């Protein structure tokens, strides 16, 4: 498409229909809820390898997410290289030292206390894969013209949720690590300056001794997270 050519809307008949009768829909969504309740953020990873094709397919699922103006403002970097994982871990632990030394503030650190986190991040090297999620502030056309992206945090957030769900569906576990800000990630991964790293997901299988924080099983009730207005 030429940079100065304005695309026009062209509708297509809905290509896929997955609608169900109400009773079947209720049964299926209940089963899905029970399955998603088995999703856990895990820090202890097995040495069991994960085929690249599984990681690739999970990222493809994330790539189907809706986005502002369909700009798809994301990029996913999958890393299994031991040396790269080691460098990422060192950089992350340096930032965590500043965070836990007071950069986060007492209230934030108190909130993290029941989670059991700290400055050591062995999962970043133990997990067979790291998936680093980058948000693109803007894009570039084929001729290098800058193109503004819209609703970037919202769009990338939806894609990450779909990625985490896809990994769970494949029987894998992950942990949501937020870079703060770990600008070196962009350089290490060969990404352009207009991309910002927003999440590192260690991905793999849990060890036999893996644990989760007890508090992580305490979820808000439906009445706390949902308001209904109806006739």
What is the per-residue pLDDT across 178-215, written as a single tens digit (0 to 9) for each? 988 888 899 999 999 999 999 999 999 999 999 999 99
What is the share, in percent, of the chain residues with pLDDT greater than 70?
98
Of the given ranges (68-82, 152-166, 179-193), which has the lowest mean pLDDT? 179-193
Task: With respect to residue 78, please indicate whether it lies within any of the assigned structural domains.
Answer: yes
Domain that includes residue 57, residue range:
50-207
What total number of domains does the chain contain?
1
Task: With respect to residue 161, please indicate whether it lies within any of the assigned structural domains.
Answer: yes
Whole-number pLDDT of residue 3: 62
Whole-number pLDDT of residue 182: 83
Task: With respect to residue 181, please indicate whether it lies within any of the assigned structural domains.
Answer: yes
Residue 8, pLDDT > 60, answer yes
Task: With respect to residue 27, please indicate whether it lies within any of the assigned structural domains.
Answer: no
Task: With respect to residue 101, please indicate whether it lies within any of the assigned structural domains.
Answer: yes
* Spatial CA neighbour of 179 closest among 132, 230, 126: 132
Task: Record the tokens describing residue 55, joined without a space.
Answer: 């990681």
* Spatial CA neighbour of 41 closest among 196, 199, 210, 192: 210
The C-alpha R_g of the chain, in whole angstroms, comes to 20
Whole-number pLDDT of residue 135: 97
**Length of the chain measured in residues:** 231
- CATH code at 171? 3.40.109.10
| Residue ranges of E strands in 37-167 | 74-79, 129-136, 138-140, 146-148
Task: With respect to residue 107, please indicate whether it lies within any of the assigned structural domains.
Answer: yes
Q: Across residues 5-9, what is the average pLDDT? A: 81
Answer whether 203's CB lies under 8 Å from 172's CB: yes
Task: With respect to residue 37, please indicate whether it lies within any of the assigned structural domains.
Answer: no
Task: With respect to residue 229, please indicate whether it lies within any of the assigned structural domains.
Answer: no
Answer whether 85's CB lies under 8 Å from 199's CB: no
Whole-number pLDDT of residue 104: 84
Reported pTM: 0.94
Q: Where residue 142 falls among pLDDT bands split at 50, 70, 90?
A: confident
Alpha carbon distance 81, 85 (integer Å): 6
């Amino acid at each position: 498409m030429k940079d100065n050519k304005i695309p026009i809307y062209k509708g297509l008949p809905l290509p896929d229909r997955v609608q169900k009768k109400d009773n079947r829909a209720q049964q299926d969504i209940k089963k899905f809820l029970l399955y998603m309740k088995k999703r856990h953020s895990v820090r202890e990873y097995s040495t069991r390898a994960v085929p690249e094709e599984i990681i690739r397919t999970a990222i493809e699922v994330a790539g189907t997410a809706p986005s502002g103006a369909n700009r798809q403002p994301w990029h996913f970097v999958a890393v299994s290289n031991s040396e790269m994982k080691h460098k990422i871990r060192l950089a992350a632990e340096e930032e965590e030292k500043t965070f836990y030394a007071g950069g986060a503030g007492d209230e934030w650190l108190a909130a993290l206390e029941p989670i059991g986190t700290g400055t050591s991040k062995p999962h970043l090297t133990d997990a067979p894969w790291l998936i680093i999620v980058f948000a693109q502030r803007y894009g570039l056309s084929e001729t290098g013209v800058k193109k503004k992206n819209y609703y970037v945090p919202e769009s990338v957030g939806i894609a990450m949720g779909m990625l985490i769900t896809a990994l769970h569906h494949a029987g894998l576990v992950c942990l949501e690590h937020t870079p703060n800000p770990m600008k070196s990630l962009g350089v290490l991964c060969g990404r352009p300056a207009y991309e910002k790293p927003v999440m590192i997901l260690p991905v793999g299988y849990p060890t036999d001794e893996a644990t989760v924080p007890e508090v992580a099983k305490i979820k808000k009730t439906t009445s706390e997270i949902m308001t209904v207005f109806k006739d």
